[in-house]
Amino acid sequence: MASRAASPMRNVACGMRYDRPETGGGPAAVPFLKPHSLLRTPHCALHTLFLLASVLGAVCIAAGCEDPSLKFNKAGLEAYRGGDYSRARAGFEEAIQQNPDVGEYYFNRAMAEQALGNLRPAIFSYDMATRLSPGIVAAYQNAATCLMQLGEPQKALAELVKGTQANPFNGQAFINLAKFYLSQDDIYNTKLALAKAAAADPDNAAVHREYGRFLIQTGDRKKGLEELRKSLEIEPLQPALSAEVSKLAPPGDQLPPPKPMTKSKP
C-alpha cells in the first residue's frame, strides 16, 4: 500500500520561520534538504533538492544571516546519493552541531545510520527528529522498520501509533499503521486503520485507492468500488485505475475514459 498539514520550522540562526509541507514519507524516504521538504523515494528529482538548497540559501542571505548548517547538510546529501553513508553521517552531524534545532537533520542522520546497519542509533535519531518536527511521518515508519528488524514488533506498533497521534489528519500515517497490521495478518485492524486514513485525509486520492483495493481483496466489492471512484473524483487522470474500475463494475456501470483538461475559453 502506498502517500498534510504544514508545520512551521524555525531557523534559529536567522530567527525566521518557514512553513514545511508535510509528506507521506514511505519506507524508501531519502534525507531532508532542510527544512522544507521530504522527498519520498531516492529517485525523486535530485535537482529539486539542490534547487531548494539554492532557494533556502538565497532567503537566508537576503535576511543577512546565512545558516552555515546548510552547506554541511548539502555535503551529507551528496555523499548519501553517492552511497558513502559514513561521510554522509559526518556531514549531517556537522549540520546538527551548527543548528541543533532542525528535526530534518536528525532524520538525515538516522537515514545514514540505518543505511550503515546501525539500527539503535538510527532509532534514536528518528526519535529526535520527531520530537523537533512531529510532522515527519516517514520517521515513525522508518523507526518501526528498524524495530521490526530488531525483533521488537510491539515497539514498532507503538511507534506507528505515535505517528498517527502526532498526525491525526495525515492519511499516510494511518496507511503505515495498516501496513504493519497487514504484515501481522491482522485483517480487522488493517481495515480499521485504512478507514481512519480515508476519514483523516479525505482529499487524498492515494488513500481512497489503497482502501478500495483492500476492500475488494477482502470481499467488499461494492464499498471498494465506491472508494476507488472517490479516488478518481479527486484525481481523474489515473488511466490504470479507471480501467480497473470499469473491469470490476457491473455491466452498464463502466466509467468513461478520463478526459484531459483543456484551457477554458476567455
Q: What is the pLDDT of residues 189-203, one digit of tens each?
A: 999 999 999 999 999
Asked whether residue 27 carries a pLDDT value surpassing 60, the answer given is no
Average pLDDT value for the chain: 80
Locate CATH 1.25.40.10 in the chain: 1-167, 173-249
pLDDT bin (cut points 50, 70, 90) of residue 251 is low
Fold of 1-167: 1.25.40
The listed CATH number (1.25.40.10, 3.30.160.110, 1.10.3720.10, 3.30.70.980) that belongs to domain 173-249: 1.25.40.10
Q: What is the pLDDT of residues 144-187, one digit of tens each?
A: 999 999 999 999 999 999 999 999 999 999 999 999 999 999 99
Q: Could you give the percent of the chain with pLDDT greater than 70?
A: 70
Three-state SS letters, the chain: CCCCCEEEEEECCCCEEEEEECECCCCCCCCCCCCCCCCCCCCCCHHHHHHHHHHHHHHHHHCCCCCCHHHHHHHHHHHHHCCCHHHHHHHHHHHHHHCCCCHHHHHHHHHHHHHCCCHHHHHHHHHHHHHHCCCEHHHHHHHHHHHHHCCCHHHHHHHHHHHHHHCCCCHHHHHHHHHHHHHCCCHHHHHHHHHHHHHHCCCCHHHHHHHHHHHHHCCCHHHHHHHHHHHHHHCCCCHHHHHHHHHHCCCCCCCCCCCCCCCCCC
